[in-house]
Amino acid sequence: MLTPDFTQAHWKKSSRSHGGGGACVMVAHVPGAAGVKDSKLGSASPVLPFTAEAWAAFLCDVKTGKHDPR
């Protein structure tokens, strides 16, 4: 996968993030990819890129509880 350009991306923080200093992430979408970064680091955070297909599969797994602690 070529490195996607997230410089103009609109980052969204979880609606469950209430500024309490917890571990939160931000997500942005660009054509063909999704990026994740650490909300505490803001613009200084490195971006972890995923293909659109990998991101969709991850979200499906989360919704079905595949990654829930056992």
Could you read off the pLDDT of 35-69 as tens digits, one per residue?
999 988 888 999 999 999 999 999 999 999 998 88
Q: Total domain count for the chain? A: 1
Does residue 1 sit within a domain?
no
| H-state helical runs in 1-70 | 52-63
Q: What is the pTM of this model?
A: 0.78
Q: Domain range spanning residue 59?
A: 24-70
Check pLDDT > 80 for residue 1. Answer: no
Q: What is the DSSP letter of 49?
A: E
Does residue 59 sit within a domain?
yes
Alpha-carbon dihedral angle through residues 22, 16, 20, 62, given to the nearest 10 degrees: -10
Does residue 19 sit within a domain?
no
23 falls in which pLDDT band (50, 70, 90)? confident
19 falls in which pLDDT band (50, 70, 90)? low
Backbone angles phi, psi at 15, to 5 degrees: -70, -15
Q: What is the per-residue pLDDT for 59?
A: 94
